[in-house]
Amino acid sequence: MSNIIQQAKGSYLIRGGAVITVDRAIGTLPRADVLVRDGRIETIADGIEAEGLEVIDATDMIVMPGLIDSHYHMWSTIGRNFVSDGGYEYFQAKGATAALYDAEDFHNSVRLGLAELANSGVTTVHNWSHNNRSPAHVDAELRAHRNSGLRARYAMGHIDKLPVDQVNRYEDLPRVQDEWFADPSRLQGLVHLGVNLRGAIQSNVEVFYEEMEMMLKLGLPVAIHASQAEPNSDDAADYERRGFLGPNFLFCHYVTARQSDREAMARTGTPLSFSTLSELRLGDTGDARRALMKMREAGITISLSSDATSLVPPNMLENMRVTWNMGVPWQGTDTAHIPPVGLHEIIETATINGAKALGLGDVTGSLTPGKQADIILIRTNDLNTAPLGNIETTVVMAAMPANVDTVMVDGRILKRGGLLVDQDVAAIIDGAKRSALRIRTAAGGILGPQCPGCAGNAVFRATAC
């Protein structure tokens, strides 16, 4: 089995599909061809003639940019089913298990997450790693990225439960920069480095300020979690005065943002990662719909994200659908005058806005000549997508991961004919199951029974299903 990332960047003629370019100068085309040469988009037009290229038949398919997930804690992918009724939801399950992951578990978890993303049409992900337990854990994640073929930002962070008054010195950062990022070919130029800070919500304000000043000197892109529920722990206007905000700074959540916070973000071009299903589940004293509408009104670049699989699946098509359905004005509130979210706007949040949020707006996020060929093809002749009517409606309201026929990143094909290419899916799942079982066993049954046959056991049997 070959390694995806060792494949040469290909040249293809994608012929006869309905094309959503997400390029406002080109628009959405009922029928067009896309010419890819050496991993880049060269031309988009109807009736392109090019000899010596492999032709990909896009009849009865929608051709569009790959989806972009701007916030995903991939180290905990294997913990997707650790939550349960009775109080063990995301934070409790994470707190009970975070220290139990070894480096191999991180590798198995990130490998599973990357394969699932590729299968569902995601071509770029922000791996927000907020449990960096050791250099071996970091290397395990980056090995998974090296072999996946997906574009990504790898954002280093803290070890889970780091005391709120302790500054994270990022001692391993110079080594990671030197060993993994000094030579772009190590990761084929597909992965760039960032950091995630705990911010005012997970550390003392003074600690956050000190960590932020460190990162400003290093020039690395920064991401922080902001409040999903009251009280609001952040003051974006203050961050603006301190020089923290800008395109290189990413807020996630921020359901509780005030008008002054939104204005500061808009003035500085600071983007937002909106984890729709997570905001609905965890924003227990906030209003996720109002937050979305007011961020839009302020003119902030909004991208979409999954957060953690213990909360929601990394299914960006579902994320788009739910966001579109909740993106309506609410009569009798201060959103009543705001226009509803449109279909094309939602597609932008899942593509070009995600690229901009990760500093990749000139690289990916739209089918624009000169950009890298990060492209997906969605079948429109399946039971749940046929018959094709409005092209953008089909993507937002009907498409599911099972309809994603082809996935290309950087001109390399990761999925074709509905199947992942050069991925041992059985081995990926087997590794994930081994790690998940070991962690659940080490947790001593605190997360609840693993399956009906294991119910009542304090420690799950090694033969558990």
Mean pLDDT over 118-128 rounds to 98
Mean pLDDT over 305-311 rounds to 83
Summarised one tens digit per residue, pLDDT across range 368-403 is 999 999 999 999 999 999 999 999 999 999 999 999
pLDDT at residue 89 in the model: 73
Q: Compute CA distances 438 → 81, 107, 435, 445, 461, whole Å.
A: 14, 14, 5, 11, 10
- Residue in this structure with the two tokens 């226009």, named with its chain if needed: 339
CATH class of 67-357: alpha beta
pLDDT at residue 250 in the model: 98
How far is it, in rounded angstroms, from Cα 305 to Cα 257? 18
By the 8 A CB rule, do 295 and 257 touch? yes
* Tokens found for residue 41: 């988009």
Assess whether pLDDT exceeds 60 at residue 64: yes
pLDDT at residue 95 in the model: 83
In percent, the amount of the chain with pLDDT more than 70 equals 92
pLDDT at residue 81 in the model: 83
* SS3 of residue 408 by DSSP: strand
pLDDT at residue 449 in the model: 54
Give the residues across from 62 on adjacent strands: 18, 378
pLDDT at residue 292 in the model: 97
- DSSP calls for 119-165: HTTEEEEEEE------HHHHHHHHHHHHTT--EEEEEE---TT--TT
Summarised one tens digit per residue, pLDDT across range 319-358 is 999 999 999 999 999 999 999 999 999 999 999 999 999 9
> Could you tell me the pLDDT band of residue 88, with boundaries at 50, 70 and 90?
low
pLDDT at residue 455 in the model: 40
Give 296-325 as a 3 state SS string.
Answer: HHHCCCEEECCECCCCCCCCHHHHHHHHHH
Summarised one tens digit per residue, pLDDT across range 191-210 is 999 999 999 999 999 999 99
The residue among 451 and 221 whose pLDDT is bigger is 221
pLDDT at residue 308 in the model: 87
Assess whether pLDDT exceeds 70 at residue 225: yes
Mean pLDDT over 456-463 rounds to 32
pLDDT at residue 465 in the model: 32
Assess whether pLDDT exceeds 50 at residue 463: no
Give the CATH architecture of domain 4-65+369-420.
Roll (2.30)
pLDDT at residue 454 in the model: 42
Assess whether pLDDT exceeds 80 at residue 85: no
The residue among 176 and 458 whose pLDDT is bigger is 176
Where do the domains of the chain lie? 4-65+369-420, 67-357
Q: List Cβ neighbours of 230 (8 Å cut-off, separation of 6 or more).
A: 256, 285, 286
By the 8 A CB rule, do 201 and 227 touch? yes
By the 8 A CB rule, do 411 and 36 touch? yes
